[in-house]
């Protein structure tokens, strides 16, 4: 730290140079960046310390703030998730420029330097994205330990490129788009799609788990497809998390389709062409899905609870 006497004794330029020597300098926007992306071990340890302090000191058991803990922890994980999404999009925005520069290569040093600069920028952004993803996954694991629930974003998918999740949840719209997009094909959960429907309250979850265990035994590569609803679908989602089974979630788009959203969701689910549909007691929406699946020739297995 500089005292008043020190700053008066040296020039402003000397102070800046000494700061750069001690702490390093950030490059200008668009310039090559030789700094390390992050200190992984320190960052992850610091994250755990922050979350532990939050739970133990800010919202401890026995206080009213403890009732808000789950929501606040979810928001903390979501902040890291959205930073990951933002950096992902920043890398995608560089793709057209990279393609143009690759086509424009004419052997000149200027074009080659510009291409190298953009490639380095994309690589740095990708590395930053991976760092935030690892922070997000660590925070999501803390959320699971503290609440007993698996963290999921309210919209979109939850996958991880940098860590092996026990089970990934893929939004159905992302799944359909990815089938047509070579860039994301590698991130699709591979396996046999098996759909589940049923929204009525369930007292005996074991019947559902037993049925899913039987199907999983027949199709070890099973991918569970469901609507993200209550009742049997919620129990099935928790079963998938406990078994490490990937999920494709078809949520209704209420903003776009209004009251028709659940029926449009059924159409979207069937576009995935599941191997079969397991039907537990549900509402008229569930029966609509069963009827449409039958018309398409998709085997339906009804199970009473």
Residue ranges per domain, the chain?
4-147, 169-302
pLDDT at 7: 45
The pLDDT tens digits along the chain (305 residues) read 545 444 455 666 666 566 556 555 566 665 667 788 889 999 999 999 999 888 888 888 889 998 998 999 999 999 999 999 899 888 888 877 777 766 666 666 666 677 777 778 888 888 898 899 999 999 988 998 888 887 888 776 666 766 655 555 566 666 656 555 544 444 456 789 999 999 888 888 899 999 999 999 999 999 999 998 888 999 999 899 889 898 888 889 888 889 999 999 999 899 888 999 999 988 899 999 999 999 999 999 999 87
Taking alpha carbons only, the member of 289, 158, 166 closest to residue 226 is: 289
Tell me if 199 sits within 8 A of 279, measured CB to CB.
Answer: no
pLDDT at 167: 56
Tell me if 149 sits within 8 A of 183, measured CB to CB.
Answer: no
pLDDT at 183: 45
Q: How far apart are CA 174 and CA 153, in angstroms?
A: 13
Q: Give the list of residues 6+ apart from residue 40 with CB closer than 8 angstroms, or none.
A: 131, 134
pLDDT at 2: 46
DSSP 265-301: HHHHHHHT--SEEEE-S--HHHHHHHHHHHHTT--EE
pLDDT at 44: 92
pLDDT at 111: 63
With H, G, I as helix, E, B as strand and everything else as coil, classify residue 167.
coil
Tell me if 209 sits within 8 A of 237, measured CB to CB.
Answer: no
Q: Report helix angle 109-147 to 40-53, nearest 10.
A: 30
Taking alpha carbons only, the member of 263, 190, 187 closest to residue 227 is: 263
Q: How far apart are CA 129 and CA 34, in angstroms?
A: 17
DSSP 176-202: HHHHT-GGGGGGSPPSEEEEEE--S--
pLDDT at 108: 64
With H, G, I as helix, E, B as strand and everything else as coil, classify residue 170.
strand
Q: How far apart are CA 272 and CA 257, in angstroms?
A: 19
Class of the domain covering 169-302: alpha beta
Q: How many CB atoms within 10 Å of residue 30?
A: 9
Q: How far apart are CA 41 and CA 59, in angstroms?
A: 26
Q: How many CB atoms within 10 Å of residue 249?
A: 24
């Amino acid at each position: 730290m500089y005292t008043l006497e020190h700053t008066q004794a040296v020039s402003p330029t000397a102070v800046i140079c000494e700061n750069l020597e001690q702490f390093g300098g950030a490059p200008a926007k668009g310039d090559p960046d030789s700094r390390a992306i992050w200190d992984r071990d320190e960052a992850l340890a610091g994250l755990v310390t922050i979350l532990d302090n939050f739970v133990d000191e800010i919202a401890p058991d026995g206080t009213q703030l403890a009732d808000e803990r789950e929501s606040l922890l979810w928001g903390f994980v979501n902040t890291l998730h959205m930073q990951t999404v933002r950096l992902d999009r920043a890398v995608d925005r560089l793709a057209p420029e990279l393609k143009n520069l690759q086509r424009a290569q004419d052997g000149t040093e200027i074009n080659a330097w510009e291409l190298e600069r953009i490639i380095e920028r994309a690589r740095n952004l990708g590395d930053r994205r991976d760092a935030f993803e690892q922070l997000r996954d660590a925070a999501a694991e803390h959320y699971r330990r503290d609440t007993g629930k698996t963290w999921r974003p309210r919209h979109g998918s939850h996958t991880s490129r940098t860590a092996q999740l026990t089970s990934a949840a893929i939004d159905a719209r992302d799944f359909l788009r990815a089938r047509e997009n070579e860039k994301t094909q590698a991130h699709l959960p591979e396996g046999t799609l098996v759909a589940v429907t049923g929204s009525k309250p369930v007292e005996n979850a074991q019947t559902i788990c037993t049925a899913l265990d039987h199907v999983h035994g027949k199709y070890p590569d099973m991918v569970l497809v469901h609507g993200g609803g209550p009742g049997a679908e919620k129990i099935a989602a928790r079963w998938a998390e406990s078994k490490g089974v990937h999920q494709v979630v078809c949520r209704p788009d209420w903003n776009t389709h209004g009251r028709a959203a659940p029926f449009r969701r059924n159409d979207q689910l069937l576009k995935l062409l599941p191997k079969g549909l397991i039907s537990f007691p549900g509402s008229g929406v569930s029966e609509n899905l069963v009827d449409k699946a039958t018309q398409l020739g998709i085997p339906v297995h009804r199970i009473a609870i």
